[in-house]
Structure 1
Amino acid sequence: MKDFQLYVITGEAFHKNKELVTVMEDAIKGGADFIQLRDKTSSRKEVFEKAKQLKELCQSYEVPFIVNDYIDIAMAVDADGVHVGQDDMPLAHVRKLVGDDKIIGVSTHKIEEALEAEQGGADYIGVGPIFKTNSKEDVVDPVTTSYIKEIKATISIPFVAIGGIKTHNVREVIEAGADAVCVITEVVAADDVQAAAMRMTEAINEAKA
């Protein structure tokens, strides 16, 4: 894995009048350097087609491409990796399926889950939700920036903060210890996706300066 700082997850419900590939390309042009396809509603065939298109896009920009949950689809399109949650297949089995050369990310909401993911061989972890978010259904209560501080002091693998992160509050997240943030609506729901990604990238860099 190479260093990254702006991880963008797809959210087609928030840009119904725009093509998925166009939106994600604009996000990349604006500074997104890690892309995840997350689709809980489309048919597996539709998810496969989207994954294939996004893999080609990300490959052309040399940006890592991750598929959420669908390990078989990730492998079929030769994605760079997969992202799984706490209720998905155990990490050890995921690793057996994808092999050692693929990236595996794991969502975590407390330090015990983060330690388990690190010890189990995850390449990075998601840390959150930091703030209240409406982008996903059935999310746990916000873990706040205190969880970032705990992760920073305990975990050695890369992590990305997620959940309710916006341009106006990203400084708080970076100052708590995050090197990378993950967003959905702040970028993909914007009228000008590229400009929104650029604003977030600039805000991250300013917070790190």
Structure 2
Amino acid sequence: MCAANDALLIINDHADLAAALGPDHVGLHVGQTDLPVAEARKVLAPGQVLGRSNREIDLIIESQHMGADHVAFGAMYTTTTKQVTRAPQGPERLKQARAAAQVPLVAIGGITAANVAPVVEAGADAICVTAAVGSASEPEAAAAALTEAIRAAGGRV
């Protein structure tokens, strides 16, 4: 397991890749229709971090019972990264997720430097972004702006 100040790379959906990269700084995240948590644990090294996506509060509780080390909740805002047919969860619903989560809570979906403050204030332990950095014309500057916005909102970076 990583120390608080160590970098941690979370691989999405590919347990084999996460396992091959090793337990020290690499974890895995699975969705509701991906490899089940129990099966993913069989592939990962002991102590390797494993998270699961959740779109409802009851799924957060289910993921925790399955042994997820962290739970993702979203989409917070409208996103173009994935086709999402549900309305965005938003920060108010994230507060409900925070109350239910007994493990670190990761907010995901449509988060940018311009809208991250309410997510941090609602209790997210971490955020997951794709387009905010990956689709930016200057990804390094976008990541720096996001980091500063998190700090300004009282979050840890």
Q: Does 1:192 align with 2:138?
A: yes
The Cα RMSD (Å) is: 2.0
- Aligned-residue sequence identity (percent) comes to 38
CA contact (8 A) 1:110 1:147 kept: no
CA deviation vs aligned residue, 1:4-61 (integer Å, no higher than 9, x gap): 8xxxxxxxxxxxxxxxxxxxxxxxxxxxxxxxxxxxxxxxxxxxxxxxxxxxxxxxxx
Q: What CA deviation, in whole Å up to 9, does each residue of 1:46-98 have, x standing for no partner?
A: xxxxxxxxxxxxxxxx5212221121222223261211000112212211221
1:165-189: CA deviations, max 9, x gaps? 1111111111222232211111122
Tell me which of 124, 128, 134 is aligned to 1:178. 124
Q: How many residues align?
A: 152
**Which has the bigger relative contact order, CA under 8 A and spacing at least 6?**
1
2:101 paired with 1:123: no
CA distance in 2, matches of 1:149, 1:143: 10
Q: Which of 79, 82, 86 is the aligned partner of 1:133?
A: 79
**Letter matched to residue 73 of structure 2:** V
Task: Give unpaired runs (5+ residues) of structure 2.
Answer: none
Q: TM-score, with normalisation over the residues of structure 1?
A: 0.66
> How far did residue 138 of structure 1 move?
4.8
Looking at structure 1, the residues matched to 113 and 8 of structure 2 have their Cα atoms a distance apart, in angstroms, of 23
Q: In 2, Cα distance between the equivalents of 1:63 and 1:159?
A: 18
Alpha-carbon displacement from aligned partner over 1:150-206 (angstroms, at most 9, x marks no partner):
121121200111111111111111122223221111112222222111111111111
Give the counterpart letter for 1:171 in structure 2.
Answer: A
Partner of 1:68: 12
